[in-house]
Amino acid sequence: MENLALSTQQYFELLPGKQLDLQFTHPVGLRLKTSLVGYSVGQYIIIKHPEPSKLSSYQDVLVEGNMVIVRYIVEGSQGQCCAFKSTIRAVSKHPYIMIFIDFPASIENRELRNHQRYVTHLPAAICASKEKGEGQARISGVINDVSAKGCGFSFKSNNSKLSVNKTDIVVVIALSEEASLHIPAKVCNSRYQQGKVNVGIAFVDADQQVQQLLEHLLIESDR
C-alpha cells in the first residue's frame, strides 16, 4: 500500500462536522472520536471536545503541549485514510469547550484499495433487498472483513447443510442507537465451517454508503 506525504491544501479541504479520530500515547494510550469545528490554513485546527458537558473528561490527555495523531477518511469511491501528527496548543472553555491544535505541515495518505480487505468485528445483519430491508426477515451476525467492494459476513448455526442463496440483499449496520446504514449488495458465496456460515458479499452501486461505513470504522491501514 502506498504511503505518501501530501500537501495539506490537497487533503484538508474538510467541512465542519467531519468525523475525526484522535490517538494519544501520553500519558496513556487513548482513542477518541470527535468532529471538526473549523480551521485556518497554516495556523490552527479547532476540534470539538469529545464530551463538552463534562469538562473534566480526558483532562489528562487534552492538555496544552500534548501530541496527538489525527485520522479521517476523505471522500471518494475507494476512500482514503489520511493522518497527521499535531500538538495541542490550547483548550478553550468559553463560550464553548474547543480544542486548538497546530495545522499540519504535511498529511500522510493511504488509499483504501478495492482489493485490500481490512479485519473488523462489526455486528451487522443481512436481509432481502426489498424496501432497504425494513420489515424483512434478518440474519444477524458479524462482518469479519471489509473492503471498498465487499465484505465477509458470518453467523452461527448448528445446521451444517445451511447456506445462503446467491441473491440481492441489504447489509444493515447500526451506526448509533438512532441511525443505521443500509448497503445494497449481493451474495456471492456461502459455506458452513465449524459452527458458522461464512458469506461472501459484494456491494452494489453503494459508493456513498461504503464511504460512510469506512468513515464509521475509520480504518487504519497499519492494522
Q: What pLDDT was estimated at residue 86?
A: 96
Among residues 116, 148, 105, which one has the least CA distance to residue 11? 105
Query: What average pLDDT does the segment 7-24 reach?
Result: 78
Q: What pLDDT was estimated at residue 77?
A: 43
Q: Give the side-chain half-sphere CA count within 13 A for 4.
A: 13
Q: Copy the grid coordinates of residue 130.
A: 426489498
Does 90 have pLDDT greater than 90?
Answer: yes
9-18, 80-89, 109-118: range with highest mean pLDDT: 80-89
Strand partners, 46: 38, 100
Among residues 180, 179, 197, which one has the least CA distance to residue 189? 197
| Contacts of 46 by beta carbon, 8 Å cutoff, 6+ apart | 36, 37, 38, 39, 98, 99, 100
- pLDDT grade, residue 74 (50/70/90)? confident
Does 218 have pLDDT greater than 70?
Answer: no
> Cα(93)–Cα(110) distance, rounded to whole angstroms?
35
Task: Name the least confident of 74-78, 117-121, 192-196.
Answer: 74-78
The C-alpha R_g of the chain, in whole angstroms, comes to 20
Structural domains of the chain sorted by starting position, each given as residue range(s) with its CATH number in brackets:
4-111 (2.30.110.10), 118-217 (2.40.10.220)
> What values do phi and psi take at 133, rounded to 5?
85, -5
Task: Kindly tell me the number of DSSP H helices and DSSP E strands found in the chain.
Answer: 2, 14
Asked if the peptide bond before residue 95 counts as cis, ω within 30 degrees of 0, the response is yes
Global pTM exceeds 0.75:
no
